[in-house]
Amino acid sequence: MADDPHALFEAWFAEARDSEPNDPEAMALATADAGGRPSVRMVLLKGHDERGFAFYTNCESSKGEEIAANPRAALLFHWKSLRRQVRIEGTIMPVSDAEADSYFATRSRDARIGAWASDQSRPLESRVLFEARYEQLVAEFEGKEVGRPLYWRGYRVEPTRIEFWTDRPHRLHERRLFTRGSGGWEESLLYP
């Protein structure tokens, strides 16, 4: 066995980009607060390499607060068209400011303004107020560069476990588990 899990992920991800009809980069992100209360939501993978799997968000959001209190997470990719899943567990580290700035600059202008307009996860009195706030910021940024707010950043899940799950007939699924130890990645199989 002994494949590199990052190379295997890249191969599977390439296949998903070709076959998955919507958002092959969508992943469930599970976090927990300091008391261990879990929470899960969908986010988009915005980069991956041997360091881990990156996504971006408002660090003052619920997920940002949970990450600050308990910097461990689990990710799940489910590519239904391929009948595959990838499960990832690890620690969360912030990406560098330079990486966050670089990614933020690739977002559409409207999405960058939206990051300024949203107090993500906070109570919203009305949709009308939010849309008015957005339009006010559109006017304020007219003719100006829309830089990254300080509360908007990236995170990288540095994996300690990566499991590749493949659907098989009769529910005899294949599960390949990679666990990172002091000597690198070790591979094993799990019963379905």
- Residues forming the active site: 171
Buried b (16+ CB within 10 A) or exposed e, 96-115: eeebbeebbeebeeeebbbb
Backbone angles phi, psi at 190, to 5 degrees: -120, 145
| CA 140 to chain centroid | 30
DSSP 122: S
Round to whole Å and give the CA distance between 98 and 141.
22
Three-state DSSP at 175 gives: strand
Sign of the dihedral through C-alpha 23, 98, 71, 66? negative
